[in-house]
């Protein structure tokens, strides 16, 4: 289990087992019946446990609050900064079709080539054997280079990447807030830049019936941040002024800001599910509903 998943009230961290064996992940969900196997697996329990532990960790906290930043966190941010710099070095190409700029494939090829080296900068020498396994999740987290699309499955791969780093003991219990506020938030910035620069298609989008074309987790963690806020209620996030004044503190509002930058027309039309959520009376109800929706999707 990830080091996060010790029961509340136990502070001692269990040392990772000395002899861990690593393998290159391969696709295991190939048909509908495989979903049941996934739902019963230790991996699913670890993944959802990770998401929910972080959900509790950021409850009622602003992005701008004080928290511990460990060396592995700094190194993860540096890794994401590298990906960001590669976007600048790989401008979009002139092409007839508006969407899915082919320069993304050039950018992705660089990540494909360098991923293991990048991961090796984050993990200690004695865990070097883990790099090839963990790197697969990083490569899966930035979109698909054939389709030039990005969606919540890619986002899930990044969460799994971070969960792996917890399982091997690189990230610890007291890194929780930094994982969401520093690393995941930086990841979102880089993904938004990819989406804009290469005009990536939404992957597996349910169009107007989906929550968002590209992300899901920042809505979960972002709604947790807003639980028990003295004056911001769910009905306020459709108010442009509220969003402009508070987005730097709350992940949820950053997401809303990005949607309104990317889409035109009435909010209720282009983001119907979010519009409906703005009618929910409390942030804790929003948070619980989004967790149910995430599990179902």
> Is residue 160 over pLDDT 90?
yes
pLDDT value, residue 147 = 96
Phi, psi of 107 (to 5 degrees): -60, -45
| Range scoring the smallest mean pLDDT among 21-35, 100-114, 172-186 | 21-35
Distance in angstroms (rounded) separating the CA atoms of residues 45 and 179: 19
* Residue 206 CB neighbours (<10 A): 11
How many degrees, rounded to 5, is the angle at CA 195 between CA 101 and CA 96?
Answer: 20
pLDDT one-digit tens code per residue, 10-59: 444 455 555 678 999 999 999 999 999 999 999 999 999 999 999 999 99
State the chain's mean pLDDT as an integer.
93
pLDDT at 206: 73
* Better-scored residue on pLDDT, 83 or 13: 83
Domains in the chain and their CATH numbers? 68-202 (no CATH), 216-296 (1.20.120.1150)
**pLDDT of 183:** 98
pLDDT tens string 232-254? 999 999 999 999 999 999 999 99
CB 100 within 8 A of CB 207: no
Instruction: Check residue 17 and give its pLDDT.
Output: 52
CA within 13 Å, CB half, 170: 26
pLDDT digits (tens, 9 = 90+) for 67-80: 999 999 999 999 99
Distance (Å, rounded) from C-alpha 57 to C-alpha 243?
23
Indicate if the pLDDT at residue 8 is higher than 70. no
Helices (H), the chain: 34-40, 42-57, 71-89, 103-122, 131-140, 152-167, 176-178, 185-197, 217-225, 240-246, 251-262, 267-270, 272-277, 283-296
Q: Can you give the pLDDT at residue 6? A: 47
Q: Give the count of beta carbons closer than 10 Å to the beta carbon of residue 296.
A: 6
When pLDDT is cut at 50, 70 and 90, the band that residue 83 belongs to is very high
Name which of 178-192, 194-208, 239-253 the model is least confident about: 194-208
The mean pLDDT value for 183-191 works out to 98
């Amino acid at each position: 289990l990830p080091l996060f998943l010790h029961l509340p009230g136990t502070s001692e961290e269990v040392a990772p087992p000395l002899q861990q064996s690593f393998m290159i992940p391969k696709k295991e969900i190939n048909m509908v019946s495989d979903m049941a196997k996934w739902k019963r697996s230790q991996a699913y329990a670890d993944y959802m446990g990770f998401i929910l532990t972080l959900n509790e960790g950021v409850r009622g906290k602003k992005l701008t609050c004080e928290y511990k930043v460990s060396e592995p966190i700094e190194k993860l941010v540096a890794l994401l900064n590298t990906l960001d710099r590669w976007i600048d070095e790989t401008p979009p190409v002139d092409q007839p079709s508006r969407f899915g700029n082919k320069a993304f494939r050039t950018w992705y090829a660089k990540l494909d080539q360098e991923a293991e080296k990048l991961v090796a900068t984050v993990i200690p020498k004695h865990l070097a054997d883990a790099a090839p396994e963990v790197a697969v999740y990083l490569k899966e987290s930035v979109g698909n280079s054939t389709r030039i699309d990005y969606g919540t499955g890619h986002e899930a791969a990044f969460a799994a990447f971070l969960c792996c780093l917890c399982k091997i003991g690189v990230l610890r219990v007291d890194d929780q807030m930094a994982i969401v506020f520093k690393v995941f938030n930086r990841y979102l910035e880089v993904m938004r830049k990819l989406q804009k620069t290469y005009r990536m298609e939404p992957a597996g989008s349910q169009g107007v019936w989906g929550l968002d074309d590209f992300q899901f987790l920042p809505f979960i963690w972002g709604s947790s941040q807003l639980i028990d806020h003295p004056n911001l209620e769910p009905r306020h996030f459709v108010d442009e002024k509220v969003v402009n004044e508070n987005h730097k503190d709350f992940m949820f509002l950053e997401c809303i800001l990005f949607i309104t930058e990317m889409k035109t027309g009435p909010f209720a039309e282009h983001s119907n599910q979010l519009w409906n959520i703005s009618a929910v009376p409390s942030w804790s109800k929003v948070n619980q509903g989004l967790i149910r929706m995430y599990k179902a999707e």
